[in-house]
Amino acid sequence: MSGHSKWHNIQGRKNAQDAKRGKIFQKISRNLYQAAKVGGVDAESNPQLRLELEKARAANMPKDNVQRALDKASGVGGAKFEEVTYEGYGPGGTAVMVSALTDNKNRTAAAIRSAFTHHGGSLGTNGSVSYMFDRKGFVSVLRDTTTDDEDTMLLSALDAGADDMKATDSEYQIFTAPASMTAVRDALQQAGYQLDTAEVRLFPETTTEVPEDKVDQYSALIDELSEDDDVQDVYEAAVLPANSNN
């Protein structure tokens, strides 16, 4: 029995690790697709693609996975992928936006609607919650990849054209106008910084606390949306209660 239990525990940990790795690969694949779709599949002339390829190598992502993402971007195989955004309300009326990349909008819309419905939310119409979010360029530099202190990093970011910077325990978060993100990214790379993230994303202008009795429902909704194969990003204008364990 103990041997079976030990095997079971090891298998459980392995399954959890495989699931986590799968999510990482899925995220990188989408970022590769986006970078290649916007700037082309030639990494030499596409800095964003180079950044995503570096992440793929660091994560030990199989070359076949990388190639499939690039093939999608270049139209190999005939499948055409579209970016689609969905707006909805989570339990308690919290605002949620979902960015998806799909080759079948009907399939994706049905899955997103089902997730909201099953977890006490509802899918909204275009413009129903998007006004609660602000589009910004976002570039991050992990602290352990640079010897610069906060003041030096801030000066470098401003010199590169950034609007603002926030320092956390693990990274420097640099914010730009959406149209300036590429220029700031390139300037920081040329200055020798190793970037962890460089993208345009949505940030909530205000947040709403999830009611305590809705926390489990809300967390389940975000998990289901995030795990959908077509979903690229989930943006939340919500915070969990301070005493929540989620």
| Bridge partners, 235 (sequence order) | 97
- pLDDT tens, 170-209? 999 999 999 999 999 999 999 999 998 888 999 999 999 9
Q: Is 84:197 a contact under the CB 8 Å cutoff? A: no
What's phi and psi for 31, nearest 5 deg? -65, -35
CA distance 66 to 57: 9
In 57-123 the beta strands, taken as DSSP E runs, fall at 82-89, 95-102, 122-123
CA distance 153 to 167: 9
Placement of tokens 């190793």 in the chain: 194
What residue segments make up the domains of the chain, in order of their start? Answer: 15-74, 80-245
pLDDT band at 12 (very low <50, low <70, confident <90, very high): very low
- pLDDT tens, 218-235? 999 999 998 888 888 899
pLDDT value at residue 20:
57
What's phi and psi for 75, nearest 5 deg? 85, 10
Q: Is 88:116 a contact under the CB 8 Å cutoff? A: yes
pLDDT band at 77 (very low <50, low <70, confident <90, very high): low
Lowest mean pLDDT among 33-42, 150-159, 162-171: 33-42
User: Which of 174, 167, 173 has the alpha carbon at shortest distance from 150?
Assistant: 167
Q: Examine the pLDDT at 9 and tell me if it is beyond 50.
A: no
Residue 78 DSSP class: S
Question: What is the CATH number that goes with domain 15-74?
Answer: 1.10.10.200
- pLDDT tens, 107-138? 999 999 999 999 999 999 999 999 999 999 99
Q: Is 141:193 a contact under the CB 8 Å cutoff? A: yes
pLDDT value at residue 79:
67
Handedness of CA 202, 204, 209, 211 (dihedral sign): negative
Q: Examine the pLDDT at 246 and tell me if it is beyond 80.
A: no
Placement of tokens 């076949």 in the chain: 64
pLDDT value at residue 10:
42
Residue type, position 202, single letter: L
10/69: higher pLDDT? 69
CA distance 73 to 79: 9
Question: Between 3.30.70.980, 3.40.50.450, 3.40.50.2300, 2.40.100.10, what CATH number should domain 80-245 receive?
Answer: 3.30.70.980
User: Which of 27, 51, 73, 18 has the alpha carbon at shortest distance from 198?
Assistant: 51
